[in-house]
Amino acid sequence: MNKKILIVTAVLYGLVMLSSCKKYLDVKPDDKFLESQLFSSKVGIESVLNSIYLQLPNSPLYGENLSTTAVELFAQQYNYSASAYSAFSYYNFNDPSVVPVIDTIWSSSYNTIVNINKLIANLAVYPGVVSKAESDIIAGEAYALRAMLHFDLLRLYGPVYSTHPQVSAIPYYTVATPDAQPFLNAADVMVKILADLHTAEGLLAADPIITLGKQEVLQNDGNDFLRFRNLRMNFYAVKALEARVQLYAGNNAAALAAAQNVINSGAALFPWSDPVAVNAGGNSDKVFSSEIVFALQNLNMYSQFDATFVSANSVLAPSDFRLQETYEVQTGEGVNDYRYRSQWGGVLYGIMRQFLKYTDVTDQTKTFRYMQPMLRMSEMYYIAAESETDPALALGYLNTVRYNRGLSNLPDGTDINAELLKEYRKEFYGEGQLFFYYKRTNASMIPDGSGMDDYSFQYMRDSYYVVPHPQY
Amino acid sequence: MGLWTFFAFLLPNRRHLTETLLIMKLIVILILGACLQVSARGYAQTVTLSEKNASLEKIFREVKKQTGYDFFYESKLLKEAKKVDITVSHASLEQVLTICFRDQPLSFSIVEKTILVKPKPVPEFAPPEETAAPPDTVRGHIVDEKGNPIVGATISVKGTSKGVSTDANGNYSIVTRGKAVLVISYVGYATQEITPGSRKMLNIDLKLSIISLGEVVSTGKMERKMESFTGAVLKVSGDELKAVGNENIIQSLKTLDPSFIVVDNNSQGSNPNNLPTIELRGKTSLSTQGVKDVFSGDPNLPLFVLDGFESDLATIVNLDMNRVASVTVLKDAASTAAYGSKAANGVVVVETKRPVKGKLSVSYTADFRVQVPDMNSYNLMNASEKLQFEKLAGRWHVGWPSFDEGLDSLYNQRLLAVKKGVNTKWINIPVRTGFNNGHSLYVSGGSDELQFGIGLNYKKDDGVMKGSDRQTWGGTIDLRYRYKRLNIYNKLYLSGYNFNESPYGSFSTYAQTNPYFTPLDSNGQVSRYLDQSPYFYDTIKATNPLYNADLPSKNYTNNFGITNNLALIYSVSNHLRVEGALQLQKDITTTETFVSPQNTMYDQTVFNQKGSYTNNRADNFTYRTNLGIVYGNTFNGLHQLTANLRGELEQDHNTQVGFDAVGFPVGSNGNPAFASGYSPYGRPTAASGIYRRSAVSASANYVYDNRYLFDASYDLDGSTAFGSNRQYTTFWSVGAGINLNNQFHLDKNLFSLFKIRGNIGAVGNQSLGRFPNVSVYQYNTGTNIFGQGTQLQSLANPNLQWQNTKTTSVGTDIALWKGRFSATLNAYDKKTDPLVVVVNLSSTTGLSNYPTNEGVMDTRGLEAMLRYSPIYNVASQVVWTIGITGSMVKSKYERFGPDGLASLNKEAQAANSLSRYIDGNSPDAIWAVPSLGIDPTTGFEVYKRKDGQSTFEYNVDDAVVVGNTRPKVEGVITNNVNYKGFTIGINLRYRIGGDQFNYALFNKVENIGESNINQNFDKRALYDRWFKPGDVAKYKNINIGSGTGVYDGLAFSSSLVTSRFVQKENDLIGESINLGYQFINKPWMNGIGLKVLSFNAYMNDIFHWSTIKAERGTDYPFANAVSFSIRASF
């Protein structure tokens, strides 16, 4: 009898052991991470921030749509006879080729914003995992990136700000939540963008770029995460973004102050490109890397670019006439322009030149490889020139850039805004800024990329400038 | 009482169940308490009694209760007994009995654990042999046909009032005297009478009686007597399955159980490599893509259990039918609650045959099957019709003279070819008659202690598409060893399959190819292109599907699996058994595909990326183990209690790795060594997941006097699928029933069974993806100078609740006239609340595929199975039985709210889908814009707007429910004749009252435009479309011209989903017609040692009559099959 009781007890004990072990069910996935795992290590937190920098240069965002394709097509930078893209050039936003693109810019931006919001929130939930100094830098970059994404959503999907600041634009997310946030009007969005930039500026006050510079060499000492500051949303990038935002908001004085801040304190960090480097043949620094305040490192850059501009069935390029007109080749200016000389290839099919800005170089050790420009010094000079009330000073800013592009100085009395338009067209090919320049200035007619003569224009209206956001 | 307290405790009370560990401890304490009491009672050696003027029977009951000793007597003896006064405390049994029998005309003797009561010897009058015969004890073991012990069988001495019943291991011992005859009976089995004579050991095999209603149901976890079970189950034997068809279990089971529906797969037809979609009692989950992950399956699939362990659909489909002993379909909460978290869709329990002791027995089965493609549903144009259609459609007229000239000459070329007799029946090219054969061998034998079985099987199915085949094989070694109280059972199972998909690709390509083209060019070569128009504006270029089919290609899957099941059963006492089992399983599946670089799909591809090879390997290692206690006892002959407590542990580790390569030299056979590289920017795919589960389940069945039945079960299930904060979930069921025939002592000749039963319970579903309740991150696909990035993969929904399906089921089982008529009726309601839905949230949230709880799905249904035998002569083996089964299922969504699933509805609208998620509507509803037909004046379709107005403008928001794909009633009509070994069975499936969206009309009568005019279409496109004003036509304007392109005429607008394409579907299907003959023990067979020889012939799906004319089997044709099966046992 005792033996039987023993057996039954043993079995019951076995049953309990079998079934109640909580630890047994605590399985950690090996192909993904739980939030608590990730935020309990420095490497984990850094990788979350880095994932933002990896998402931004993907093709739905700054890798293509917001740099080389969609927004450039809207700005009539290319010959729309390339049929795959013609609907973009016609602002036919309901076309099946356009809808997925404007949807993906929208949803990818907000998806990146969720990641940013999660990061910001979790830095507070898991304190002390990284040092206070590093935490501030990570948070500062995150706030500024959140502002940048919302700003570009506002510029693309929002109203023409200069005329309709009170029109409903986009929702502004400061928390990661499944509950949809309300659409705010453009002016309110602008307030939130500037607030985030202000927060970022404060958090980045001790950015190593201020004391140690860009640090474009890896040391493998465990601190590399805070090097290559020009590939990160650094302190000056925040100021430069602020200048861009303030100008868009029409706050010229504030824009000027921010631009001057970057020009003055960042001059040594972001020097003008050496013409020798720019014209170095197979190793030409076609993106003018030294002047870039903030770039994304896009490892898919050359393949993405190749697919659109080199081996595609319909290669994107402006008509040769339009290109020559843009760079003022007829007047003799263009042939000396470093940008024209380095960024454009020979005539293709007898009608157009190939865009070379993002083609690879021979020397694979060059640090400027894979740099996708987001903010550059020249824009600070343009902003300063546009918002400076003293015409002489304004012309000075403009001529500084022209000098560094191999162009002659413009005389006093030049129409600054007309020249600035020319500069934006030359400087930002493939960088996605021109459409927003047109939208900011509410230009009523813009030169079209397929134009064959001086009378070829695209007439603009609000419905072309305001890209409809997805309805769900 | 202890056990009852324990089960009462287990009844659901959620508040009590939150603290898992506490409960576990309490359970242990209670069970231990219960068992201790049981043991104490069973083995007490002393008696304490205080009775005044008590009947002897009462004393006997009391003594039995205290000692466990049985009394054995003839009841008339006690009539003469005197009342007894007795007060004893801790007296021995003998003392007590001596007191009781002091003044009685009776005497007693104790034999083993039985007290024999007999009249006091009166030598003068008693016949000498009566007294001469001393009491004997006969022991033995009672088993069923499969060799499983029968628990609770009754053994009585003929002519006496009482008997004994077998214990949990089928053992009994009974006291007899002289020429006593033992009567052995058990519900559902033929009663046997045996005279033990001088034998002391009597092992008995009970045979199933012809009435098969009363049987033992195996729920896979424990066996229960069907008669006392309150759940809705259907048990069919392997032979019954084999009588319907010899393809696989699933195909036969659907004929036998009306609630087990194999959903027609119109795309894959009779592809042997396609796994069926199965529904048991309708749906319980939404089956949108989002609810699944890489390792999860169909959320509406029932759970399969093979030999006590969870299995998967592929294994069940591949299982050798000849090895199947029985299949039990568990449908409701009482029968499935022990499977708790996986039971929402019901459970199918498959048991394979076990080795039988005795001399070596060999059984061999050969199956042959011939399949021919069923093309009857195709109604394609011939060459001249097609050309005529093109002419009418406006293909050969542009309106620009320079183009029309060229078109004219091309048209004339085609016309000339047609006149010459070119009319290629493309659909006949990729198909063939498929010959299948299967062989199965099982050898078994052994002694009482050790039995073994060795099985081998092989089967080759050639599909009706050329080059599509499937080979399955398996080997099994069964060992069964019995040592005293310990039973060891081990089953080793090796299996595998290889299959090839047809190099001919999709059948639809052939159905689409124009009949005025010939597959061979003028040189007799298979041309690359059928048609290369010389005109640049005629951009259509038709490739020759045969060209690609002839190129080397590969689409091959190989599987190898090994499974070992070890079970140990130890009998602690006659009433208590301990069971433990362990399963180890390893499974490897590799899929390789290769597409030749010459394939026309690479025409536009750069030279170094032509051709592709992919390799995907999935590995799976599983262990499952369980340990349990089974208790069974009968108290006072009135109270039967069986109870079961079980703990389980399971781990399932899946990994999947794949890569692809591109750029092959022309003529390559697909060896990846010849690839020029991986696909550009491609990377290997990998996934890995560990799933663990631990559970405790308990169930009990109590029967009072074979009249009142009660069932209760409880399952505490912990799983990694539930997320880390909510690892445990509870499931439960309670059921009750009444055997009216026993309650009201109904005439046994009329009512053999009349049971009413019902139960209610909650079960879950784990076939959904795993949605953790903490946010999960994954690596970004790229890197940069700062290293890797980890990106939010899914934002946790901390409030997510698991799907819980509350099941209510009531039913009745009736058998009349000794089984001549039988009926089973069931009604049920399955309410899944809440549902797990994966939605795309507002795009601004940045979250997609967010798991959330929305709404409720309520499925209600009725099932009926009726059987009657107009001729019923069992003794002379002449039986004619007709039967009908039917099921009705209705599901509807509730509580989504006005915009609960707006995002899914938006997606459905955008995709032109026929389904919507809207309250009060069925998941099977067809949503489309109501059509008012074709306007006779213009040939355009007229739609009905929401406000009732007619309009030419299609607006997807006007869609309403225009039909329901689920038939109102579906079932099988059977007709079986058994005449002295000859059997004929006819099983016809009927489906009444469903609707179908006819894709043949949608795609091949309408929706013909510039882009597909070069394909072949349904004849109705030519004959039934509107042609000129005044035509009253069902289908719109035949002219497909577009305003902006090169074709003139009316603007082509594609037809959209409207009620015009929805048709009523009533079907009659020749599901199985079979014929069999069995030779048993014929004189000529003895010479060659043959015991049984049986022949069967079948026709499966031999016809399909439907009220709608739609193409069936679009990517792979359906097949009509004729098969034969021969079985020989030596």
Token pair recorded at residue B378? 């195709």
- pLDDT tops 60 at residue B535: no
- Residue B237's H or E segment, with its range, is strand B233-237
Q: What is the DSSP string of B361-426?
A: EEEEEEEEEEEEE--TT--B--HHHHHHHHHHHTTT--S-HHHHHHHHHHHHHHHHHHHTT----G
- Model confidence at B5, pLDDT cuts 50, 70, 90, reads very low
Give the E-state strand segments of B833-877 in sequence order. 836-839, 850-853, 856-873
Q: What is the DSSP string of B933-1000?
A: EE-TTT--EEEE-TTS-EESS--GGG-EEEEESS-SEEEEEEEEEEETTEEEEEEEEEEEEEEEE-HH
Please tell me which residue of chain A has the smallest CA distance to B777. Answer: A33
- Model confidence at B590, pLDDT cuts 50, 70, 90, reads very high
Mind telling me how many Å the CA of B844 is from chain A's nearest CA? 6
Given the structure tokens 């012809």, which residue do they identify?
B210
- CB distance A288 to A273 below 8 Å: yes
Residues B530-546 as b or e (16 or more Cβ within 10 Å = b): bbebeeeebeeebbbbb
Partners of residue B573 in chain A, C-beta under 8 Å: 4
- pLDDT tops 60 at residue B537: no
Question: Given an 8 Å threshold on Cβ–Cβ distance, is A180 in contact with B844?
Answer: yes
Partners of residue A49 in chain B, C-beta under 8 Å: 789
| Amino acid letter for position A387 | S
User: Model confidence over A355-383: pLDDT tens digits?
Assistant: 889 988 888 888 899 999 999 999 999 99
Give the pLDDT of residue A172: 96
Partners of residue A55 in chain B, C-beta under 8 Å: 780, 789, 791
Give the end-to-end CA distance of chain A in Å, rounded to a whole number. Answer: 71
A23 in contact with chain B, both atoms CB, cutoff 8 A: no
Question: What average pLDDT does chain A have?
Answer: 90
Give the residue-averaged pLDDT of B452-466: 93
User: Model confidence over B742-758: pLDDT tens digits?
Assistant: 888 888 788 888 999 99
Distance in angstroms (rounded) separating the CA atoms of residues A438 and A433: 9
Distance in angstroms (rounded) separating the CA atoms of residues B719 and B732: 17
Token pair recorded at residue B747? 């005439």
- CB distance A224 to B786 below 8 Å: yes
Give the residue-averaged pLDDT of B948-976: 91
Give the bridge partners for B157, in sequence order. B182
- Least confident stretch, A171-180, A198-207, B557-566, B1028-1037: B1028-1037
Give the pLDDT of residue A144: 97
Give the pLDDT of residue B212: 32
- CB distance B482 to B449 below 8 Å: yes
Neighbours of B779 (CB within 10 A): 17
Question: Given an 8 Å threshold on Cβ–Cβ distance, is B720 in contact with A5?
Answer: no
Give the pLDDT of residue B215: 44
Given the structure tokens 């069925």, which residue do they identify?
B922
Distance in angstroms (rounded) separating the CA atoms of residues A152 and B786: 25
DSSP B607: G
- CB distance A105 to A66 below 8 Å: yes
Give the pLDDT of residue B43: 43
Distance in angstroms (rounded) separating the CA atoms of residues B699 and B702: 10
Partners of residue A32 in chain B, C-beta under 8 Å: 776-778, 793
User: Model confidence over B632-647: pLDDT tens digits?
Assistant: 888 887 888 888 888 8
Token pair recorded at residue B595? 């597409």
Distance in angstroms (rounded) separating the CA atoms of residues B460 and B437: 6
- Model confidence at A148, pLDDT cuts 50, 70, 90, reads very high
Of chain A residues 143-202, which have a CB less than 8 A from chain B?
A: 170-171, 173, 176-181
- Model confidence at B146, pLDDT cuts 50, 70, 90, reads low
Give the pLDDT of residue A204: 97
- Model confidence at B614, pLDDT cuts 50, 70, 90, reads very high
Give the pLDDT of residue A418: 94
- CB distance B757 to B735 below 8 Å: yes
What count of CB pairs under 8 Å joins A to B?
A: 232
Give the pLDDT of residue B202: 74
User: Model confidence over B500-515: pLDDT tens digits?
Assistant: 999 998 999 999 998 9
Selected for mutation to probe chain A from B23, B27, B45, B792 (highest A CB count within 10 Å) is B792
Mind telling me how many Å the CA of B1116 is from chain A's nearest CA? 32
Q: What is the DSSP string of B351-377?
A: EE-----EEEEEEEEEEEEEEEE--TT
- Point out the residue among B625, B775, B789 whose CB comes nearest to the CB of A54: B789
User: Model confidence over B63-119: pLDDT tens digits?
Assistant: 777 777 777 777 667 777 777 788 877 777 777 777 777 777 777 777 667 777 777
How far CA B695 is from CA of B8, B219, B391, B730, in Å, comes to 19, 16, 69, 10
Is A41 part of any domain?
Answer: yes
Is A234 part of any domain?
Answer: yes
Question: Given an 8 Å threshold on Cβ–Cβ distance, is A107 in contact with B848?
Answer: yes
More confident residue, B618 or B534: B618
- Model confidence at A189, pLDDT cuts 50, 70, 90, reads very high
Is A368 part of any domain?
Answer: yes
Is A334 part of any domain?
Answer: no
Give the pLDDT of residue A134: 94
SS3 B429: coil
Question: Given an 8 Å threshold on Cβ–Cβ distance, is A25 in contact with B694?
Answer: yes
- What percent of chain B is predicted at pLDDT more than 90? 29
Q: How many residues does chain B have?
A: 1130
User: B528: closest CA among B538, B512, B541, B516?
Assistant: B541
Please tell me which residue of chain B has the smallest CA distance to A55. Answer: B780
Selected for mutation to probe chain B from A2, A3, A12 (highest B CB count within 10 Å) is A12
Number of domains in chain A: 1
User: Model confidence over B429-443: pLDDT tens digits?
Assistant: 999 999 999 999 999
Neighbours of B464 (CB within 10 A): 28
- Model confidence at B404, pLDDT cuts 50, 70, 90, reads confident
* B549 HSE (CA, 13 A, CB side): 23
Distance in angstroms (rounded) separating the CA atoms of residues B546 and B527: 8
Please tell me which residue of chain B has the smallest CA distance to A171. Answer: B844
Distance in angstroms (rounded) separating the CA atoms of residues A124 and A136: 11
User: How much of chain A is in helix, strand and coil states, percent to nearest 5?
Assistant: 55, 10, 40
Partners of residue A134 in chain B, C-beta under 8 Å: none
ipTM for this model: 0.89
Question: Given an 8 Å threshold on Cβ–Cβ distance, is B627 in contact with A11?
Answer: yes
Q: Which domain holds residue A261?
A: 3-302+357-465
Is A308 part of any domain?
Answer: no
Give the bridge partners for B380, in sequence order. B1018
- CB distance B807 to B832 below 8 Å: no
DSSP A308: I
- Model confidence at B630, pLDDT cuts 50, 70, 90, reads confident
Is A216 part of any domain?
Answer: yes
Q: How many residues does chain A have?
A: 472
Please tell me which residue of chain A has the smallest CA distance to B779. Answer: A32
Token pair recorded at residue B977? 């004749």
Give the pLDDT of residue B536: 46
Question: Given an 8 Å threshold on Cβ–Cβ distance, is A231 in contact with B784?
Answer: yes
For B484, residues 6+ apart whose C-beta sits below 8 A from its C-beta are none
- Model confidence at A124, pLDDT cuts 50, 70, 90, reads very high
Distance in angstroms (rounded) separating the CA atoms of residues B165 and B145: 19
Distance in angstroms (rounded) separating the CA atoms of residues B1008 and B99: 102
Q: In angstroms, how far is CA A230 from the centroid of its own chain?
A: 13
Give the pLDDT of residue A17: 63
Question: Given an 8 Å threshold on Cβ–Cβ distance, is A11 in contact with B629?
Answer: yes
- pLDDT tops 80 at residue B899: no
- Point out the residue among B573, B692, B791 whose CB comes nearest to the CB of A4: B573
Of chain A residues 288-307, which have a CB less than 8 A from chain B?
A: 297, 299-300, 303
- Model confidence at B1085, pLDDT cuts 50, 70, 90, reads confident
Token pair recorded at residue B1079? 């030779």
Mind telling me how many Å the CA of B594 is from chain A's nearest CA? 26
Please tell me which residue of chain B has the smallest CA distance to A14. Answer: B627
Q: What is the DSSP string of A164-224?
A: -TTSEEEE--SS--SSPPPEEEHHHHHHHHHHHHHHHHHHTTT-HHHHH----S---SS-G
Partners of residue A100 in chain B, C-beta under 8 Å: none
Token pair recorded at residue B1036? 């719109």
- Model confidence at B291, pLDDT cuts 50, 70, 90, reads low
Please tell me which residue of chain A has the smallest CA distance to B689. Answer: A29
Neighbours of A54 (CB within 10 A): 27
Neighbours of A348 (CB within 10 A): 12
- What percent of chain B is predicted at pLDDT more than 70? 86
Give the pLDDT of residue A79: 83
Please tell me which residue of chain A has the smallest CA distance to B850. Answer: A178
More confident residue, A223 or A421: A421
Give the pLDDT of residue B8: 39
- pLDDT tops 60 at residue B218: no
Distance in angstroms (rounded) separating the CA atoms of residues B270 and B899: 40
- pLDDT tops 80 at residue B15: no
Mind telling me how many Å the CA of B650 is from chain A's nearest CA? 10
- Model confidence at B1053, pLDDT cuts 50, 70, 90, reads low
Give the pLDDT of residue A245: 97
Give the pLDDT of residue B24: 47
Q: Which ranges constitute the DSSP H helices of A249-375?
A: 252-266, 275-278, 301-305, 320-326, 338-343
Distance in angstroms (rounded) separating the CA atoms of residues B492 and B774: 41
Question: Given an 8 Å threshold on Cβ–Cβ distance, is B572 in contact with A34?
Answer: no
| Amino acid letter for position A140 | G
- Model confidence at B930, pLDDT cuts 50, 70, 90, reads very high
Partners of residue A181 in chain B, C-beta under 8 Å: 844-845
User: Model confidence over B219-262: pLDDT tens digits?
Assistant: 556 666 666 778 888 888 888 898 888 888 999 999 999 889 89
Give the E-state strand segments of A89-147 in sequence order. none
Token pair recorded at residue B994? 């469903």
Is A157 part of any domain?
Answer: yes
- Least confident stretch, A92-101, A423-432, B209-218, B427-436: B209-218
- pLDDT tops 50 at residue A280: yes
Question: What average pLDDT does chain B have?
Answer: 82
Give the pLDDT of residue B770: 66
User: B300: closest CA among B268, B277, B332?
Assistant: B277
More confident residue, B404 or B526: B526
Mind telling me how many Å the CA of B881 is from chain A's nearest CA? 48
Question: Given an 8 Å threshold on Cβ–Cβ distance, is A29 in contact with B572?
Answer: no
Mind telling me how many Å the CA of A59 is from chain B's nearest CA? 13
Partners of residue B844 in chain A, C-beta under 8 Å: 106, 110, 170-171, 173, 180-181
Distance in angstroms (rounded) separating the CA atoms of residues A85 and B851: 36
- What percent of chain A is predicted at pLDDT more than 70? 95
Most confident by average pLDDT, A423-432, B140-149, B953-962: A423-432
Give the residue-averaged pLDDT of B906-912: 80
- CB distance A155 to A438 below 8 Å: no
Is A345 part of any domain?
Answer: no
Token pair recorded at residue A93? 């936003």
Distance in angstroms (rounded) separating the CA atoms of residues B1015 and B516: 10
For B745, residues 6+ apart whose C-beta sits below 8 A from its C-beta are none
Cis omega before residue B834 (within 30°)? yes
For B896, residues 6+ apart whose C-beta sits below 8 A from its C-beta are B854, B855, B917, B918, B919
Q: Tell me, what CATH number does A369's domain have?
A: 1.25.40.390
SS3 B36: helix
DSSP A422: H
